[in-house]
Structure 1
Amino acid sequence: MRTYAPYITFPVALVVGAVGYHLEWFLSETPKSREEKSIFELREERKLQEQMGKDGTQVLSLKDKLEFTPKAALNKNRPEES
């Protein structure tokens, strides 16, 4: 009996899993959730709303941006030069 157990339990587990998956989908699926926007779409809309109030021509120069860049990981253990 032990040798035939996988041949019996696998199809049973497959059927139970498929029924459970479809039952969960049927119970949790609502019309509202089908029409919800994805996280990517929500993020893009939020970024657009943030940009609406800003002037696109006023940006930081490259020199200002480089001032805040972290030091290279390989230079962390080297002594600081003064």
Structure 2
Amino acid sequence: MWPIFWTAMRTYAPYVTFPVAFVVGAVGYHLEWFIRGTPNTPGEERGIAELREDRKLEELNGRDSTQVLSLKDKLEFTPRAVLERNRAVKS
């Protein structure tokens, strides 16, 4: 009787092991969930890009957006180009 049983188990192993593994996995999953309890998920954390945007908006909120440097004034602070070729000539 045992040789017939082992031959059948060897032949139908995929059909037997998958349901057994599925049941063992499901029981283990639910047992672990029961022991640990409900997971405490923290609130959504904001990303670095969102934090940067908020910080930039806060900085802009306190300033007058109509008072900006002119492009001519900004030209004074640009680094010197090689041989002064790429720099606009001031009149």
What TM-score do the two structures reach when normalised by structure 2?
0.44
Larger Cα Rg: Structure 1 or Structure 2? 2
Q: Which has the higher helix share?
A: 1
Higher RCO, 1 vs 2 (CA within 8 Å, ≥6 residues apart): 2
